[in-house]
Amino acid sequence: MSLESQITALVSAANKLTSEVANKMKGIDRKVDEAVASVPKAIRDNATAHIFVDTETGSDTNNGTSGSPLKTIAAVNKLIVPGTSVNIYLANGQTFEESGRLLAGTNNSVLIRARALDGPNPVLKWQPDFDPDAGVNKNSGILLTQGNVTFVQVDMNISNRDNGAELTSQAGLVQSNLGKLDIFIRGSHVALNNAPLVTAYAGYDATDLHFNTSSVSVTANDNGHGMLVYNRGNTSLSIQMRLSVNATSLLGQLKWRDLLPIKADNSNILTNLDGTAL
């Protein structure tokens, strides 16, 4: 083969290789573009989880959609991603008997609400776990490091176990884990039976409570834990709190001071209530 023919063949092979590389690069660029375009959708899809729970028709092996609900609130925990919003819809008129740890997260926004807001309130009955080795009742229901929890038209019955065992200081429906925690309650009744709604650590935690068209009662407070907020830390320090109240009743001649660790001079609480109403 002449030198001229060899050069022609070499040029042709180079052109073919260039064309193949260009086509490959186009394919790679297309896949990169598709991957980049899918990221916002993935973020949107995972930013807020909508999870349905039904004690009658649900199963904890389901995926938690409206047509395939879970059976227990505790099963929601496996679906939580840190930093996201979690909306939990409880079947109307049902009683959810739960114990121990339900949810745990960091920087989460948790909404627990009645599935239909025009139906009867579901009831969440919670109690701590019993540790037979230590002989104590322990564990909080919802453990958050920063974040907020909202209950909408969900009645809560928060009780210590009736077994004579001591309730540990961390045990309550919600535990603030060394950060700021906001609790919003609307259209709900909270009944406390020797166990608190929130446990917080004085000097480390700040707790904000917001009540709207709700009510609170205390069935028993024999152990000093039957409060909306229980100080699980150094009692010589104060928990910094904010309390906003609208159309909310305290039953049985209760005062807010009976339910919250408010200092005598009210210096650790910021509220829309008149000081005499505390």
CATH of the domain at 254: 2.160.20
User: What gap in Å lies between CA 74 and CA 145, rounded to an integer?
Assistant: 18
Q: Say if residue 17's pLDDT is above 60.
A: no
In a domain, 31, yes or no: no
In a domain, 12, yes or no: no
Residue 190 — very low, low, confident or very high, per pLDDT cuts 50/70/90? Answer: very high
**pLDDT on residue 28:** 64
In a domain, 24, yes or no: no
* DSSP state string for 252-269: TT--HHHHS---TT-TTE
User: What gap in Å lies between CA 103 and CA 75, rounded to an integer?
Assistant: 9
What does the pLDDT average to over 173-202?
91
In a domain, 23, yes or no: no
Cα separations in angstroms, 240 against 112, 149, 261, 271, 278: 25, 18, 9, 11, 15
Entry pTM: 0.83
**pLDDT on residue 177:** 77
In a domain, 16, yes or no: no
Q: Say if residue 138's pLDDT is above 60.
A: yes
| Domain range for 86 | 48-277
The domain total for the chain is 1
**pLDDT on residue 24:** 65
Residue 235 — very low, low, confident or very high, per pLDDT cuts 50/70/90? Answer: confident
In a domain, 95, yes or no: yes
In a domain, 82, yes or no: yes
Give the three-state DSSP class for 160: coil
Residues 30-52 have pLDDT tens digits of 766 665 555 555 555 567 899 99
What does the pLDDT average to over 169-197?
92
